[in-house]
Amino acid sequence: MSMDNLRALGLPSGRDEAWKYAARTLSRRDWWATPTDALSLPEKAAIDAAVLPVEAPVLVFAGGHAVPRTLGGFGALPAGVSLRPLPEDAVKAPIGNSGEHRVAAIAAATTPGAWELAVAANVDAGTLQLLHLPAQGAGALVLRINLARGARLQLLESLADGESTPLTSSASANISTNSAANTAPATLTRWLQVHLADGASLTHAIVQQLPVDAALLEQLDVSVGRDATYLALPVSLGTQAAHTAAHLSLESPGAFGHWQQFLRVDGNQHTDVQLTVTHVAANTTSTQAVRALAGGRARGAFSGKVVMPPSAHGADSAQSIRNLLLSATAELDTRPQLEIHVDDVKASHGSTTGSLDQQALFYLRSRGIGEQEARRLLMQAFAADVIARLPWPSLREWLATRVLP
């Protein structure tokens, strides 16, 4: 589909099932007038601010460009890990009138170039940090992540403000530097395709702390092979409006797919997550856990659909969604959906919505803990089981002290 057609199509309306709970403000953003071919460099301070406190090699993407090490995108890749541009025709987004894959279509149409991050067979690549910063207020990243048979990777993504200022160093011809006058709220589009071959394991944390006037469209398409494990750990904090569509496909027996999300919205933020887990093969396992906090007039929505086709014998899925409302005007919508076409499977789901436990608050205060601190402790406790899944103690500490109000 041409860019013009896509632009004419716009973002799906609320009548589209996959966009029913999406922020309407998303469609007022310009998702098409995006990146130039030129790589614009974020300020070093912006990069530094986006780096999370975890010791690991760092890859930097500004807009959708990979920033080479020589230009401040630091970190040599560990042995067995490669990052390479994909030929233009290698990236084809499935486009239809359905809104389910619209983000991929927009990302593919607007990205300056697609990339592949690969880990070779049986390589344990440890932790890799990937910064994704908007450049000139925009960015469209198309990234394939391929883990070969038996490969292991802990990928820590940081989505943060990439507000840039002019860089004085001379750079090659197709590199321009950003203008400081650029103050438009950032828009970021991401399409990640993850493929895990047999026995591979990917821990995929996504710490999203974009500015509160930014907007994000995100699509994750994940296929998990035999005895492979995908663990998604999204920590969603920023943006005015964000829409995430995630499709986890458990393709072969023994595949595990986990989605463990912490989401916090406040003020007038609006975030919606549409997750579909398909147990394509027999004896596949999935878990979905969401801990969502909402204050102010914020809105959050999580739709978790679990599909078990007739081929899904012995599949096992457990879903646990907990919502905590911190104000009377905040709203959290939860939609668990089960589509089960086979008998011998297990599928459980539970969801709760409540406010901060006043009894527990009084208990803590009666021990001398100040009210604000007591509230913070209870919010931390609420998110604890999901936060605990993050495999980096330093990041967990950072979240505890910085992210919770």
Scored b (16 or more CB within 10 A) or e, 166-175 reads ebeeeeeeeb
User: In whole angstroms, what is the distance from residue 199 CA to residue 330 CA?
Assistant: 42
Of 58 and 383, nearer to another protein (C-beta) is: 383
Interaction between residue 367 and another protein (CB under 8 A) = yes
Cβ pair 223, 196 in contact under 8 A? yes
Total residues at interface with another protein (CB under 8 A) = 24
Of 45 and 384, nearer to another protein (C-beta) is: 384
Helix (H/G/I), strand (E/B), else coil: 173: coil
User: Considering the complex, what minimum distance in angstroms separates the CB of residue 377 from another protein?
Assistant: 5
Helix (H/G/I), strand (E/B), else coil: 206: strand
Interaction between residue 392 and another protein (CB under 8 A) = no
Position among 72, 385, 396, 403 found at the interface with another protein (CB under 8 A): 385
Q: Chain-centre distance of CA 215, in angstroms?
A: 13
User: In whole angstroms, what is the distance from residue 337 CA to residue 326 CA?
Assistant: 26
User: In whole angstroms, what is the distance from residue 54 CA to residue 156 CA?
Assistant: 9
Interaction between residue 389 and another protein (CB under 8 A) = no
Which among 290, 214, 226, 216 has a CA at the least distance from the CA of 255?
226
User: Considering the complex, what minimum distance in angstroms separates the CB of residue 380 from another protein?
Assistant: 7
User: In whole angstroms, what is the distance from residue 63 CA to residue 135 CA?
Assistant: 5
> What is the spatial order of strands in the sheet that 229-236 belongs to?
65-67, 58-62, 124-133, 152-160, 201-209, 229-236, 256-265, 285-294, 316-325, 346-355
User: In whole angstroms, what is the distance from residue 395 CA to residue 49 CA?
Assistant: 14
Interaction between residue 405 and another protein (CB under 8 A) = no
Interaction between residue 393 and another protein (CB under 8 A) = no
Where does this chain touch another protein (CB under 8 A) — which range of 46-54, 111-119, 365-373, 394-402?
A: 365-373
Position among 371, 394, 397, 402 found at the interface with another protein (CB under 8 A): 371
Position among 3, 33, 90, 381 found at the interface with another protein (CB under 8 A): 381
Interaction between residue 358 and another protein (CB under 8 A) = yes
Where does this chain touch another protein (CB under 8 A) — which range of 59-67, 100-108, 251-259, 381-389?
A: 381-389
Interaction between residue 328 and another protein (CB under 8 A) = no
Position among 377, 389, 396, 403 found at the interface with another protein (CB under 8 A): 377
User: Considering the complex, what minimum distance in angstroms separates the CB of residue 385 from another protein?
Assistant: 7
Which residues are at the interface with another protein (CB under 8 A)? 357-360, 362-371, 373-374, 377-378, 380-385
